[in-house]
Structure 1
Amino acid sequence: MIMRNNITELLKGVEVEWKNLDEVTNYEQPTKYLVTSTNYNDEYKTPVLTAGKTFILGYTNEIAGIYAGKNNPVIIFDDFTTANKWVNFDFKIKSSAMKIISSADEEKYNLKYIYYWMSTLPNEKIDNDHKRQWISNYANKKIPVPPFSIQTEIVRILDKFTALTAELTAELTAELTAREKQYNYYRDQLLTFQEDEVEWKNLGEIAKIKNGKDWKKLGDGDIPVYGTGGVMGYVNTHAYNKPTVLIPRKGSITNIFYLESPFWNVDTIYYTEIDEEEIIPKFFYYYMKTIDLTKLDTGSGRPSLTKAILDNINIPIPPLKEQARIVEILDKFDVLTNSITEGLPREIELRQKQYEYYRNLLLDFPKAEQ
């Protein structure tokens, strides 16, 4: 494991030059490497890179205009979002909104070092700003350039730490996937009832479905505003302040939320006023998570759920004591599989933060006095 003292010793007394990124790198437009076919198939050999989080759009069987990244690794820079990736494999490109970054002098400027340093830069992109970023902004950023031997050692350390972090994260992710499957299995078992085993009621009998409203004219505050994708913003008033289940009306109709604190909801998602003498709100939430709402979709284009259809969903109503027992069990499973403050998701997040801490420490050179 990398230790802070080792890093401090490595960088002790190291002199650096501060240069513009365009002094230490060259860039190339992707024109020669653009893919022409949209016939992608995972059985094909050459990955097609695109802008944004997707990165690898698919695989092509085109054999002309392939960049030989296996022999000449490069940095792929998204000229709009400023996202960057280290690419050490052959590829073609889908989006012209990308630049291929290489070292201006491979004996002076270690390209992997430059990549790691660029990864420490904050995202400065402004929403709806479609300005090209490399020439107008990034090319003028000052990068610390220590002696080449120090650059190489920093890369060696970060490569090792990157591999270790990836390995541990993969193990935790595999464990999380297994626990999620286990959780879903036990949830479905606990929430499966025979017709004559418990009382059944239509959703409309145990909860009132309420429409959301526009929030754009509300004042700023700390009350979350929910849409089908989750929190959209914060306002100074609430639509409801009791335990509820939010059920999408349009869009991402599988995104169901359970809330116990005040909120506002927009018109793409319903909230429910739940009869707590009949059903525990959290039990209602867990049961709704077992229903495949896509089968109830009425939208001809955008997915849609209506009150009438939701009101007719059959809901089991076991005794409140049994509902409470089931909720307690599923809450414990939920912490292990989904909690961002406890359980495996938190462990995965901490691994990434630990990696970023040491990466930033290795690349944190004091700027020369002006």
Structure 2
Amino acid sequence: TELTTELTTELNARKKQYNYYRDQLLSFEEGEVEWKTLGELAENLDSKRKPITSGLREAGEIPYYGASGIVDYVKDYIFDGDFLLVSEDGANLLARNTPIAFSISGKTWVNNHAHVLKFETYAERRYVEYYLNSIDLTPYISGAAQPKLNKKNMESIRIPNPSPEEKERIVSILDKFHALTSSLSEGLPREIDLRQKQYEYYRDLLLSFPKPDTEAAA
């Protein structure tokens, strides 16, 4: 319908606007700031990961994470705190249909398809998360049929490293944009669904009116 098209167009426009501002905030000239590798900025906790085949998982309420997010819910946990997960393998490394870096909090379990990184502050973690999701990672990815971002390549990714205050400023702005676009992403499809149901209700109501010849026969 026309409304669906209008709302979808609005959502896409807001996403493009967000991506534009994000890229502007995260763009630095080579000599403008110090650059560091991801391995220098984060503590890698990959050695603590533990995959469990689906048949052996004990159902529970703890999120069980894989390369692109929550895969299942289990009874136990191996991590407790705030971490950044970075996809290690999968087609999404190239397709980028969903973020390849995403934050997790609280008690969690992570399998061996996502790297686990720990940072000293919230701003550090979120800054790297935003940056990784904004750049082309193709030079660091190996394998065409089975794309993989191994630990060595991931830790060699160069990241601009402005002052802690500047990182906090950038993250504060991007968090606000992210909250807005997330709200739109969730709200607009719901709005479209409601409008569709409203349309169907009135359509069915109109179609249920008795026809003139039916009334005459009665």
Pairwise TM-score range, normalised by the shorter structure: 0.7 to 0.9
SS of structure 1 residue aligned to 2:59: coil
Structure 1 pair 265–180 and aligned structure 2 pair: CA distance change class (3 A): same
Tell me whether 1:274 sits opposite 2:133 in the alignment.
no
Q: Secondary structure at the match of 2:11?
A: helix
Percent identity reads 38
> Are the counterparts in 1 of residues 60 and 73 from structure 2 also a CA contact under 8 Å?
yes
* CA drift at 1:325: 1.2
Does 2:169 correspond to 1:169? no
Root-mean-square deviation (Å): 2.5
2:152 aligned to which of 293, 308, 311: 308
- Find the aligned partners of 2:180 and 2:44 in 1 and give their Cα distance: 31
Q: Which has the higher helix share?
A: 2
Distance apart, 1:197 and its partner CA: 2.2
Asked if structure 2 preserves the Cα contact closer than 8 Å seen for 1:202 and 1:313, the reply is yes
The alpha-carbon deviation at position 173 of structure 1 amounts to: 1.2
Higher RCO (CA-CA < 8 Å; seq separation 6+): 2
Residue among 157, 163, 168 paired with 1:324: 168
Q: Which runs of 5+ in 1 are unaligned?
A: 1-165, 364-370
Distance in 2 separating the partners of 1:179 and 1:188: 14
Q: Distance in 2 between matches of 1:358 and 1:174?
A: 20
Does 1:236 find its partner at 2:75?
Answer: yes
- Residue 356 of structure 1, CA deviation: 3.4
Give the TM-score taking structure 1 as reference length: 0.48
Structure 2 equivalent of residue 208 of structure 1: 43
Contact 2:8 2:188 (C-alpha < 8 Å) held by counterparts: no
Is the contact between residue 43 and residue 117 of structure 2 (CA under 8 Å) also seen in structure 1? yes
Aligned AA for 1:179?
A: R
User: Would the aligned equivalents of 1:191 and 1:287 in 2 still touch at CA under 8 Å?
Assistant: yes
AA aligned opposite 1:178: A
Show the counterpart of 1:116: none
- The CA distance in 2 between the partners of 1:196 and 1:202, in whole Å, is 16
Aligned match of 1:265: 110
CA distance 1:240–1:200, shift in 2 (3 Å): same
Instruction: Report the secondary structure of 2:160's partner residue.
Output: strand
What's the CA shift for 1:195? 2.6
Q: 1:20-99 counterparts in 2 under 5 A?
A: none
| Partner deviation per Cα, 1:270-311 (whole Å, 9 max, x = no partner) | 11122339x621111111112212332111421111111111
Listed one character per residue, the Cα deviations across residues 21-78 of structure 1 (whole Å, up to 9, x for unaligned) are xxxxxxxxxxxxxxxxxxxxxxxxxxxxxxxxxxxxxxxxxxxxxxxxxxxxxxxxxx
Contact map agreement 2:68 2:87 (CA 8 A) in 1:
no
- Structure 2 distance, partners of 1:187, 1:274, is 21
Q: Cα distance 1:236–1:357, how it changes in 2: closer, same or farther (>3 A)?
A: farther
Match of 1:249 in 2: 88
TM-score (norm 2): 0.79
Amino acid at match of 1:182: Q
